[in-house]
Amino acid sequence: MGLNVVILGPPGAGKGTQAARLARQRGVPKISTGDMLRDGIRDRNPVALEAKALMDMGRLVDDRTMIAIVQERLTRPDTAQGFVLDGFPRTVDQAEALDSLVASHGNGPLVIVDVKVPEDELVRRLATRRICESCGTTAEPVVPEPAGCPVCGGTLVQRIDDGARVVIERLRVYAESTRPVLEYYRNRPVFQVVNGAQSPECVAQELESVVEQASVVPPPIRPVAE
Ligand code: AMP
- Over the chain, what is the mean pLDDT? 92
The dihedral of CA 15, 16, 19, 21: what is its sign? negative
Closest Cα to atom 15 of ligand 1: 34
170 lines ligand 1 (CB under 6 A): yes
Q: What pLDDT, in 10s, does the model give residues 86-104?
A: 999 999 999 999 999 999 8
What is the distance in A from the centroid of ligand 1 to the CA of 23? 19
What percent of the chain clears pLDDT 70, i.e. is strictly above it?
A: 92
87 lines ligand 1 (CB under 6 A): yes
What strand order describes the sheet that includes 110-116?
30-32, 82-86, 3-8, 110-116, 191-195
Task: Give the relative orientation of helices 33-42 and 63-74 as an angle to the nearest 10 degrees.
Answer: 90
Average pLDDT of the segment spanning 194-213: 95
Residue 191 contacts residue 169 (beta carbons within 8 Å): no
Closest ligand 1 atom to 54 CA:
12
Which pLDDT value is given to residue 120? 93
Query: Mind giving me the DSSP string for 208-221?
Result: HHHHHHHHTSPPPP
Give whole-number Cα distances, 37 to 34, 56, 66, 218, in Å: 5, 12, 9, 35
Question: Degrees (nearest 5) of the Cα angle 37, 169, 96?
Answer: 55
Peptide bond into 11 cis (omega under 30): no
Which pLDDT value is given to residue 175? 97
Which pLDDT value is given to residue 107? 78
> At residue 122, does pLDDT exceed 70?
yes
- Output the pTM of the full model: 0.91
Say whether 170 is catalytic: yes
What percent of the chain clears pLDDT 90, i.e. is strictly above it?
A: 82
